[in-house]
Amino acid sequence: MGSKGKRIEVRAPRHPAGTVVVSVVTNKGSSSPVPAARFTYSEGGWARIAGPARFHHTATLLDDGRLLVAGGCLKGGQNGACTEPTDTAELYDPLTRTWFSTGRMTRPRAANHTATLLPGGKVLVTGGDSAELYDPAQGSWVPTGAPSVRFEHSATLLPDGKVLRIDARAGVIELYDVAAGTWSTVGPSLADLYSQYGIGRGTQLADRTGHTATLLPSGKVLVLSGDTAEVLDPATATWAPTAAPEIVRTRETTTLLPTGKVLVVGGLDSMSRPTATTETYDPDAMPDPAKPEEKGAWSAARSIGVARYAHTATLLAGGKVLVAGGSYENRGHLVNGEILDPASGRWSPAGEMSAGRGAIVGLGGASFTATLLNDGSVLLVGGSDPVPKEGVTSGLDSADLYAVGAAGQAPGEGASGPRGPPGAGDRSSDPVAWVAGVAAVAASALVALIVMRRRCVGQSSGC
């Protein structure tokens, strides 16, 4: 059929597991239409939409509900190292499901940069020894105060409006003052902390490559990496050791739950194998009442269904957690998702995405992003091909939208959205009725094609 074919897409009744599009393809020059009825749907509320082809970018939800995707890499080499960094940025409008370009950053940012939404609506992007601000009202980027050189760091918006930046190597902390547009180094580093407490494993523990930083309800920050955890009090710029996690892991996800506990999922274990284990951290637990200053405790939780690392974990509006994608053995990218109900501690399948999204070997965590939108849906953007083609790693030019509405209905396909034929119903429709509806739509599409081809008889083009 190839590029000479013409495709007509007709929206059919929704299958109990998702939206169905009936596609009929014709070959120009053939003696009769060639139907290629292709019924595709996504279980669990996933819908494929267009997306910018990039990986290791940032995604930030703006105050007006749009999503800003900035920087990242367009192509990489055999080992995943970026060969084509980009300074471009794009905006996604959830109301129209469309992407459009916005201003270019002051420099390309290939990976390890962070983006933080500031009070007032601007976005702070920082990486290496530079930082810049995006103004959504103007669609422009301007440089701001330069931080110290940091090649891998975390950035956390604090309750007072400042941004905390923790260096991955020595644990040096910096604060960005939004009003002044300046950075300042505060408090001791993690290396100083280990020296202070006499921890006898040298400076190795000061390496926080791939660490996570989670803002706790108290305003303190839990910093987790490998087999150690520390709590930083930004108000006093002091570190305090806390209980060590039960499982040594890297490239995991940490999520603050509504209960105030922190959920840790998956990652690579001490043998660099993907793990399905999960655990929770309770910052208020007091294991030893005789030592009230030593707060915090870890407890094992029910394992996720599929072992994974470099995935995403998104707290949904109802308090559940959506874990999506990730990688497993042999660099494969996972296409499925799972949902945790913290109330019951149970995991349940969340269907399959349109494409696998995971990690690039040797380059930190997930190569894609997951963002909770204002309508309660979750948008996954970008990522990389699981296996380089002819030595080139390319970005995925697609996005996946996960709906968490009634019965997983895709956002925008409710009372005011596209519908099937009268009586088509919704995802709870009777499968027999659904099949009958699809058959009717397919037949209508086929008749339309026959009529179209009769009109084309004798014409040399346009059919």
**pLDDT tens readout for residues 53-63:** 999 999 999 99
Question: How do 278-282 and 262-265 pair as beta strands?
Answer: antiparallel
Please give the DSSP secondary-structure letter assigned to residue 249: B
Q: Quote the strand ranges of 96-162, DSSP E.
A: 98-102, 114-117, 123-127, 130-135, 140-143, 153-157
| pLDDT over 70 (residue 384) | yes
Compute the residue count for the chain.
463
* Euclidean distance between CA atoms 240 and 233, whole angstroms: 8
| pLDDT over 60 (residue 439) | no
| pLDDT over 60 (residue 67) | yes
pLDDT of residue 260: 97
| pLDDT over 80 (residue 137) | yes
Dihedral angle at the C-alpha atoms of 239, 243, 245, 250, nearest 10 degrees? 10
Bridge partners (DSSP) listed for residue 384 = 395
| pLDDT over 60 (residue 262) | yes
225-241 residue pLDDT tens: 878 888 989 988 888 88
Q: Which of 4, 143, 125, 117 is nearest to 62 (CA)?
A: 117
Band (341; pLDDT cuts 50, 70, 90): very high
Band (424; pLDDT cuts 50, 70, 90): very low
| pLDDT over 50 (residue 33) | no
Task: Centre a 10 Å sphere on the Cβ of residue 363 and count the other Cβ atoms it contains.
Answer: 21
Domain 52-396 part of CATH 3.30.565.10 = no
* Euclidean distance between CA atoms 256 and 160, whole angstroms: 19
Q: Which helix or strand (DSSP H or E) is residue 400 part of? A: strand 398-402
| pLDDT over 60 (residue 169) | yes
**What's the count of helices (H) and strands (E) in the chain, helices before strands?**
2, 33
Percent of the chain with pLDDT over 70: 69
Q: Which of 379, 394, 395 is nearest to 337 (CA)?
A: 379
pLDDT of residue 291: 74
pLDDT of residue 167: 78
| pLDDT over 80 (residue 200) | no
| pLDDT over 60 (residue 242) | yes
* Euclidean distance between CA atoms 380 and 92, whole angstroms: 12
Q: Cβ-count burial of 394 within 10 angstroms (0-12 exposed, 13-18 middle, 19+ buried)?
A: middle
pLDDT of residue 178: 94
Contact assessment for residue 296 and residue 229, using Cβ atoms and an 8 Å cutoff = yes
Question: 202 or 239: whose pLDDT is higher?
Answer: 239
* Euclidean distance between CA atoms 39 and 44, whole angstroms: 16
| pLDDT over 60 (residue 411) | no
Hey, what are 279's tokens? Answer: 């655990």
pLDDT of residue 196: 56
| pLDDT over 50 (residue 36) | no
Least confident of 69-78, 247-256, 317-326, 452-461: 452-461
Percent of the chain with pLDDT over 90: 48
Task: Centre a 10 Å sphere on the Cβ of residue 177 and count the other Cβ atoms it contains.
Answer: 14
Q: Which of 175, 143, 171, 145 is nearest to 162 (CA)?
A: 175
Band (128; pLDDT cuts 50, 70, 90): confident
Bridge partners (DSSP) listed for residue 395 = 384
Question: 455 or 253: whose pLDDT is higher?
Answer: 253
pLDDT of residue 66: 98
Q: Which of 373, 360, 418 is nearest to 400 (CA)?
A: 373
Q: Provide the residue ranges of all domains of the chain, joining segments of one domain with +.
A: 2-44+417-456, 52-396
CA distances from 333 to 136, 235, 415 (A): 34, 41, 36
